[in-house]
Amino acid sequence: MDIMNSLKSSREMIDALIANKSQTFGSITMPGPLDELESVAGACVYALNKGNKIFFMGNGGSAAEAQHLAGELVSYFMTQSDPYAAIALNTDTSIITAISNDLGYKHIFSRQLQALSKPGDVAIYLSTSGSSENILEGMKFGKINGLINISFTGLKSRWMYDYSNYYIAVPSTSTPRIQEGHLILGHW
């Protein structure tokens, strides 16, 4: 794909986000991504005001975005502010490799949530495929244990939907477009 086609594809995804149309995926109709994002922002603010934390997690490029978004909250984003309690669970290689070795890679997020989270905390799961086993295991733990589960995904699968309190699907099946959409939505 040449750069002009790539830019055109990115613009189409951004235009689709701004259009904020509800999406039907299988038998499920999901709200527009910006409507859901407004609810997500409210849930995050409420949790932080109650003294809860926000956990981010993802694999590969989504792991980098999880770190980025957690960093925005702990440092400051656009204006100076007090730090917010945000943690990217994909950053500690000793913990990740210990859990992978002892329990299996699918438990790297659920085990950390078991150790660090409490009911009312927010868990934000970033997955372009929507079918990463370690993300789904984390979501199962979150749903059973009173976390606010927020999915950032695309239109590749809907496995995350059943475990989500809030479900934001970037209107694309292209991994780069989904990743771009996640970062745009995270900043919005």
For residue 1, the model assigns a pLDDT of: 57
CB atoms < 10 A from the CB of 109, how many? 28
For residue 117, the model assigns a pLDDT of: 98
Tell me which residues of the chain have a pLDDT lower than 50: none
Q: How far apart are CA 119 and CA 146, in angstroms?
A: 4
**In 3D, which of 109, 126, 14, 17 has the Cα closest to residue 69?**
126
To the nearest whole number, what is the mean pLDDT of the chain? Answer: 93
